[in-house]
Structure 1
Amino acid sequence: MAKAGTVKSNVQFIHTPGGDDLAVLPRSEYNRLVTLAAEAQEDAAASRIVRNSTRALREGREVVLPKAVVDRLANGANAVRVLREWRNMLQGELAVAVGISQNYLSEIENGRRKGPAELQKKFARALGVPIDLLID
């Protein structure tokens, strides 16, 4: 009788003339082992994703955004404005932080101007977000 937690197996071992030991097992047992191996690979992949995401968060390459912020961004709201408001910054504060006028920032937030890539980098640094969030 098998102990609790063990699986009874009908594996046969064959010793070949060349010295190899072969295991012969029922297809159902083989399928079970293949499924377990696939699950182990999925678990390992998920663990890698979690480790990589945790490292990216720690290094500032990723940021966790509240759902309300993500929803606004997904609905096409201006990213600079959404992220500035999320960071509880006034327009004047962000404008000073990136070295532009408040009027210029207002035009960017209202979609009348884009600003060069270097300015987008400054926004990302000032807002503490990856540049990807600011680039379409």
Structure 2
Amino acid sequence: MRSPQIIRTPDGEELVVLPRADYEALVERADHEAEDAEDVAIYDARKAELAAGGGILPPQVSAAILRGDSRLKAIRNWRGETQLHLTFKTGIAQGYLSDLENGRRRGTSDTIAKLAQALNVPAEWLS
């Protein structure tokens, strides 16, 4: 980048003259910084929603659901839980948990509440 030329108007305002390539590079850099700031704001808002118990699923869970996992299975795997360990934590039979994960059965509100508590997620995520 070459040194810019500074011109003073009759009113005392200073104007800066620089090569077009330098100007375009500055504009592009400002656009990238604005885009980065927007991304940070989106990330911060999403993180706050999750911390407040918002209904937004984490990206890893959403990706697992898109790959074909049930919501319960995706959340269980996201939390690093095995079916066996989850049955010990909740008192729910492993076969019943498997049926819930595979959509063969629907959980009662009590069952959903136990699973949500054990997985530390809002119950709405499992409904």
- With the shorter chain as reference, the TM-score category is 0.5 to 0.7
Distance 1:78 1:43, change over 3 A: closer
TM-score, structure 2 length as denominator? 0.56
Q: Decide whether the 8 Å contact of 2:83 with 2:97 is kept in 1.
A: no
- Alignment: residue pair count: 120
Q: Structure 2, unaligned stretches of length 5 or more?
A: none
RMSD: 4.2
State the AA in 1 paired with 2:119.
Answer: L
TM-aligned CA deviation for residue 20 of structure 1:
1.6
TM-score, structure 1 length as denominator? 0.53
Q: Decide whether the 8 Å contact of 1:60 with 1:130 is kept in 2.
A: no
State the AA in 1 paired with 2:2.
Answer: K
Q: Over alpha carbons, which structure has the higher Rg?
A: 1
In the other structure, the counterpart of 1:35 is: 28
In the other structure, the counterpart of 1:26 is: 19
How far apart, in 1, do the equivalents of 2:11 and 2:118 lie?
69
- Pick from 6, 16, 38: which aligns with 2:9? 16
How far apart, in 2, do the equivalents of 1:105 and 1:21 lie?
72
Greater helix fraction, Structure 1 or Structure 2:
2
State the AA in 2 paired with 1:87.
Answer: E
Aligned to 1:29, the other structure's residue is in SS state helix
How far apart, in 1, do the equivalents of 2:109 and 2:103 lie?
15
Q: Decide whether the 8 Å contact of 2:72 with 2:126 is kept in 1.
A: yes
Distance 1:64 1:43, change over 3 A: closer
Q: Structure 1, unaligned stretches of length 5 or more?
A: 1-6
